[in-house]
Amino acid sequence: MGVSAPSDVPAPAPAEEPRPRSRGALVGRIVLALASVLAIYLLTQRVDFADIGHRLSKTDPGWLAVALLASVLPIIGSALGFLALSPGRLPFGQITLVQLATSFVNLVTPASAGGLALNVRYLTRRKVPLAVAVTVVGLVQTTSVLVTVVLLLVLLLVSGRSLSDSPHVPWVTLLIVVGVVVLVGVVLRLWPWGRHLAWRYVVKPFRDAGPDLRTIVTNPRRLALVTIGHLTVTLGFVCVLWAGLKAFDESAPLVLMAGVVVGGSAIAGAAPVPGGIGAAEFALASGLNAIHVDPAAAISAAVLFRVITFWIRVPIGWLALVVLRRQSAV
């Protein structure tokens, strides 16, 4: 008496979900399997394991351990950036797994597109509208560039060097991206169906999420957190390169190494090859050589940097992606 019977709870509703969910899971498994085969192919075809093993055998184990520890900082920094700029609350452990998974995804997609798409996918699975999710990822990338540029300027001023002393970032790539964005905007403005699509999928979601986005970009605590996150990413990569040079008994000024890291990352991201394979190593070795590091040590340090910050992460990123798939997070 007075107690609701369990039979009062409608049962059919949850029973309708498993079929679409299982179909989606099957497609996800197939895509993940194909990406895994492609990743293994790229690893075996593009990576000279004998050369890597030979170079690693010449490293100082202590500095190698320092480089490995420092490689954790960029992952944490990336996660902090998304925590700061995303609407709502994100689980720190889960968003960290997403950043790890981008290493695997970027191996099978050109120009880091897979990592950006994975972050967008994660946010949309968290019920963030697609246009807002794309904007959040764009904000993370934009604030990263701004913080990095300011950091480089500060380091240059502190060291008393001029801008010409640091490696140049390929600004032509940035101009091309801006040009494409402007062109797309003009097409959408002149094409009636394009205006309809823009209103439905961009303008309306932005209008609905406008107050939340405005709160995010004007919140001092969030801005401080995203700044700390981006500084952690850059300084983490610089520490890995610094420790890598030390492992081969070489060194270089901190500000110039920061320029090499930023320039190498920009070139690797702009190169239309999966994971920036080849382009990143060449850019790093060339940058180190330009700041008067011994050529042999520059190549070895560049290879070590990529092994620690990218290649080692590929299998770890694969495991992270499997976990995220099982959690239905992506």
pLDDT tens, residue by residue, 188-219: 667 777 666 666 655 665 565 556 566 666 78
Which pLDDT score, from 0 to 100, does residue 60 have?
80
User: What average pLDDT score do residues 17-34 get?
Assistant: 54
Kindly report the average pLDDT of the chain as a whole number.
74
Comparing C-alpha atoms, which of 101, 81, 200, 201 is closest to residue 144? 81
Which DSSP symbol is given to 16? T
Which pLDDT score, from 0 to 100, does residue 3 have?
46
When pLDDT is cut at 50, 70 and 90, the band that residue 291 belongs to is confident
In whole angstroms, what is the distance from residue 299 CA to residue 319 CA?
30
When pLDDT is cut at 50, 70 and 90, the band that residue 72 belongs to is very high
C-alpha dihedral over 211, 214, 215, 216, to 10 degrees?
130
In whole angstroms, what is the distance from residue 140 CA to residue 147 CA?
10
When pLDDT is cut at 50, 70 and 90, the band that residue 270 belongs to is low
Q: Are 274 and 111 in contact (CB under 8 A)?
A: no
Which pLDDT score, from 0 to 100, does residue 299 have?
83
Is the pLDDT at 44 greater than 60? The verdict is no
Is the pLDDT at 65 greater than 60? The verdict is yes
Which pLDDT score, from 0 to 100, does residue 275 have?
64
Q: Are 248 and 67 in contact (CB under 8 A)?
A: no
Enter the pTM of the model: 0.70
User: What average pLDDT score do residues 68-97 get?
Assistant: 91
Which pLDDT score, from 0 to 100, does residue 4 have?
45
Could you tell me the two tokens for 40? 């293994």
CA distances from 90 to 83, 93, 141, 206, 245 (A): 6, 9, 18, 20, 36
Which pLDDT score, from 0 to 100, does residue 213 have?
60
Is the pLDDT at 136 greater than 90? The verdict is no
